[in-house]
Amino acid sequence: MDTPAIIVTVAGLALAGFVLWYFFFSARQTASAVSTSGGVQEVAITVKGGYSPDVIEVERGKPVQLSFYRDEENSCSEELLMPDFSIRRDLPAFKTTLVELLPKEVGTFTFTCGMGMLRGSLVVK
């Protein structure tokens, strides 16, 4: 192995390691729901290449209202899926779409885009 090969190998392995860490193990942006006077837990989520925040904490047994604002036209994010709550919604671009649900059980429930690439989770406590 010559010097360039060694450099490429080391850099490549480091890059691969970074990719794995960055996408799978790094910390996520978490937000807790804010309860209104009516007892509804509200969270605003921006959809742009992902969900921010992408970890949402809510309390069990209280109605939840998620407002998804889709801040892009990219077709990847046009659908929202919350299979545990039987929800499939089209998110129109540059519009807010309200999703209402009632978390009855404690647990972590994933929500994704139509193809399962973009992910977020609803943590019910």
Partner 1 sequence: MEPATKTETLDIEGMTCASCASAVEKSLSRTPGVQRAMVNFATEKATVDYLPTQASPATLKEAVINAGYGVMERAPDTSAAERSAEIDRQKAVAYQKLKRRFGVAVGLAVIIMPLSMLMLWPAMMARINMQWLNYALLLLTLPVLGYSGREFYESAWNGFKHRAANMDTLIAVGTGAAFLYSLAATVVPGFFTSRGLMPEVYYDTTATIIALILLGKVLELRAKTQTSAAMRSLIGLQAKTARVVRPDGAEVDVPIEQVQLGDLVVVRPGEKVATDGLITEGSSALDEAMLTGESLPVQKQAGDPVFGATLNKTGSFRFRVTKVGADTMLSQIVKLVEDAQGSRAPIQRLADKVSAIFVPTVVVIAILTFVLWFDLAPAGTRLPLALVNFVAVLIIACPCALGLATPTAIMVSTGKGAEHGVLIRNAEALEKAYQVNTVLLDKTGTITRGEPAVTDFWTLPDQEHNRLLQVVAAVERQSEHPLAEAVVRHAEAQGAASLTATGFRAVEGKGAAATVSGQAVLIGNRRLLADESVNLPPTLIAQAEQLLSQAKTVLYIAVAGQAVGLLGVADTVRDTSATAIKKLQALGIEVVMMTGDNAETAAQVAGQVGITRFFAEVLPADKAGKVKELQAEGRIVAMVGDGINDAPALAQADIGLAIGSGTDVAMEAAGITLMRSDLNGVVTAIELSRQTIRTIKQNLFFAFVYNTLGIPVAAGLLYPFFGILLSPMLAAGAMALSSVSVLTNSLRLRSFDNH
Which spans of this chain sit near partner 1 (rule: CB under 8 A)? 1-2, 4-5, 8-9, 12-13, 15-16, 19-20, 22-24, 26, 28, 48-52, 54, 67, 72-76, 78, 81-90, 92-93, 95-98, 113-119
3-state SS, 25-39, equals HCCCCEEECEECCCC
Nearer to partner 1, 14 or 106 (CB): 14
The span from the CA of 60 to the CA of 52, in Å, is 22
* Nearest-approach distance from CB 109 to partner 1, in angstroms: 11
Nearer to partner 1, 32 or 87 (CB): 87
Which ranges constitute the DSSP H helices of 1-125?
Answer: 3-20
Q: How far are the Cα atoms of 2, 38, 106 from residue 54, in angstroms, in the given order?
A: 45, 25, 18
* Nearest-approach distance from CB 56 to partner 1, in angstroms: 14
* Nearest-approach distance from CB 60 to partner 1, in angstroms: 21
* Nearest-approach distance from CB 106 to partner 1, in angstroms: 19
CB 109 within 8 A of CB 60: no
